[in-house]
């Protein structure tokens, strides 16, 4: 099990997200009471996969949009264009849970940093897009995305569960910005 500080360190060490961004977004989530906050050391609350998913998504939100919880909600409620029956927040959390079968067909998760969109890349390289419920015209902008390989998500899930991952972690286990 990881505390908030340990979760921040884990993401910093295993991804391309900068430490300052991670700390800033974690403080924002605590202020919104979206992740647990409390004591330090032995009294620090433990983080759950849901909290880690919120922090990863928060790291994709532009700093200028960090006024309220609306951007986090927008990303969390993105819906699959294929089925529409699962939201992105639930899927991202599920990929970190060791008992989840979702990871068997996922290669990586891509989260756009400047527009609420996400994409799952399957192992067969097919894609599932997650879009807002209300489609709006997307501005003509260059997209910057956070790439989260399944190996990174599974390793993070194992650290959150305080168990050793039995599944082999791919060489691309570190998250990379594309």
Which residues have CB under 8 Å from 130's CB, separation 6+? 78, 79, 80, 81, 87, 88, 91, 117, 118, 119, 120
Q: Quote the number of domains for the chain.
A: 1
Half-sphere exposure of 79 (CA within 13 A, CB side): 9
pLDDT by residue (tens digit) across 64-76? 667 777 777 888 7
pLDDT by residue (tens digit) across 118-167? 899 999 999 988 888 766 555 555 567 888 898 888 899 888 887 443 33
What per-residue confidence (pLDDT) applies to 112?
Answer: 84
Domain ranges, residue 93 = 4-177
């Amino acid at each position: 099990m990881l505390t908030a500080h340990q979760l921040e360190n884990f993401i910093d060490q295993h991804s391309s997200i900068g430490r300052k961004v991670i700390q800033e977004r974690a403080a924002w989530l605590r202020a919104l009471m979206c992740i647990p906050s409390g004591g330090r050391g032995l009294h620090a609350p433990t983080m759950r996969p849901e909290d880690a998913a919120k922090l990863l998504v928060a790291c994709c939100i532009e700093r200028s949009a960090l006024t309220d919880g609306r951007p986090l909600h927008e990303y969390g409620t993105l819906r699959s264009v294929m089925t529409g029956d699962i939201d992105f927040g639930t899927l991202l959390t599920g990929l970190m849970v060791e008992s989840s079968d979702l990871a068997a067909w996922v290669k990586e998760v891509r989260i756009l940093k400047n527009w609420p969109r996400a994409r799952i890349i399957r192992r067969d390289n097919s894609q599932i897009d997650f879009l807002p419920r209300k489609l709006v015209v997307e501005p003509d902008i260059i997209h910057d995305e956070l790439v989260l390989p399944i190996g990174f998500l599974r390793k993070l899930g194992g650290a959150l569960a305080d168990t050793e991952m039995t599944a082999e972690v791919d060489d691309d286990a570190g998250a990379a910005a594309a």
